[in-house]
């Protein structure tokens, strides 16, 4: 066996051993959230990285400190949001739902150049079956299967380590504190650069997956709950109920 084949064989064997060990021992919820965050940033945020690359490297003077810190800031931000949402037995189902939704969102963002906001989310929710069928194709299916289905399958095969709720809460607070300290430290140390970037390019928040999905769905639900029901409809319902009882 040649040296190169020996190295490949060794690495492959160690990978198989690590997978089997993980399936037996399980992983912590915090580690799972970190891995999901990394997957989302690598495979569902191509549009975000394209826009940030254009904004930073097409400038007259490249801000290397900003360029090097942006991936850390984005990771810390997404990790913080997912950590606040993913608790106990709901962690795996919620993360799987986020992965599938992010896969759909990233495909349409890349294929059609759209952004995810309240208006787009409303259009998706209110789209009828015939319009949806026009958007379905094998490319969409393949993308969702690879970017969303593959990590969901891997998550389903790995158990989560169970801890007493006090230890689980303490560990979550520790990692959340580390993420927030990292986020705040970097942003505050480069406040002018980040403030200028976000103030002049508001579309960034609309292309960061999955937080754009959270913001759009929150805006949709907020408007739906705030919309009062028409009085005529209420009166009709009461009249109909009275006739039915008679």
Q: What is the pLDDT of residue 125?
A: 78
Q: How many domains does the chain have?
A: 1
3 state DSSP class of 158: coil
- The verdict on residue 226 lying in a domain is yes
CA dihedral 194, 197, 199, 200 (to 10 degrees): 170
pLDDT digits (tens, 9 = 90+) for 24-70: 778 999 999 999 999 999 999 999 999 999 999 987 788 999 999 99
Q: Do the domain assignments include residue 7?
A: no
Within-domain flag for 15: no
- Whether 1 maps to a domain, the answer reads no
The residues facing 27 across adjacent strands are 160
- Which residue range is the domain that position 121 belongs to? 27-245
Task: Decide if 88 is inside a domain.
Answer: yes
- Kindly state the tokens that stand for 63: 């801000």
The predicted model scores a pTM of 0.83
Beta bridge partners of 183: none
Question: How confident is the model over 160-200, as pLDDT tens digits?
Answer: 988 898 999 999 999 999 999 999 999 999 999 999 999 99
Give how far Cα 137 sits from Cα of 77, 107, 120, Å: 33, 11, 20
pLDDT at 243: 42
SS3 27: strand
| In-domain check, residue 114 | yes
Residue 86: inside a domain, yes or no?
A: yes
DSSP 136: -
pLDDT at site 226: 81
Looking at residues 92-98, what average pLDDT do you find? 97
Measured CA to CA, the distance from residue 57 to residue 81 in angstroms comes to 28
Looking at residue 229, the DSSP 8-state letter turns out to be P
Closest CA to 160 of 149, 150, 172: 172
pLDDT tens-place string over residues 230-246: 554 444 443 334 444 44
Q: What is the DSSP string of 178-214?
A: HHHHHHHHHHHHTHHHHHHHHHH-TTHHHHSTTHHHH
What is the number of H-type helices and E-type strands within the chain?
Answer: 14, 0
Whether the predicted pLDDT of 108 surpasses 80: yes
Tens digit of pLDDT for each residue in 124-155?
A: 777 776 667 777 889 999 999 999 999 999 99
Question: Is the residue at 9 inside a domain?
Answer: no
Q: Which residues contact 67 (CB under 8 A, 6 or more apart)?
A: 56, 57
């Amino acid at each position: 066996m040649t040296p190169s084949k020996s190295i490949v064989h060794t690495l492959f064997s160690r990978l198989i051993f690590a997978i089997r060990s993980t399936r037996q021992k399980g992983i912590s919820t915090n580690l799972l959230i970190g891995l999901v965050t990394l997957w989302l940033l690598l495979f569902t945020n191509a549009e975000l990285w394209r826009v940030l690359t254009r904004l930073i490297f097409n400038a007259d003077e490249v801000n290397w400190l900003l360029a090097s810190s942006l991936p850390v800031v984005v990771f810390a931000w997404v990790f913080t949001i997912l950590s606040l949402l993913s608790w106990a037995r709901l962690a795996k189902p919620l993360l799987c739902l986020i992965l599938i939704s992010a896969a759909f969102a990233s495909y349409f963002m890349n294929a059609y150049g759209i952004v995810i906001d309240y208006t787009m989310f409303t259009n998706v929710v209110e789209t009828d079956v015939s319009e949806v069928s026009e958007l379905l194709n094998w490319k969409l299916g393949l993308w969702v299967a690879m970017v969303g289905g593959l990590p969901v399958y891997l998550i389903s095969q790995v158990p989560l380590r169970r801890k007493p709720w006090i230890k689980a809460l303490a560990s979550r607070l520790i990692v959340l504190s580390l993420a927030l300290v990292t986020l705040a430290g970097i942003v505050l140390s480069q406040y002018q650069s980040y403030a200028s970037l976000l103030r002049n390019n508001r579309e960034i928040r609309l292309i960061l997956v999955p937080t754009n999905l959270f913001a759009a769905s929150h805006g949709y639900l907020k408007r739906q709950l705030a919309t009062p029901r028409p009085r005529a409809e209420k009166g009709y319902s009461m009249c109909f109920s009275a006739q039915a009882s008679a």
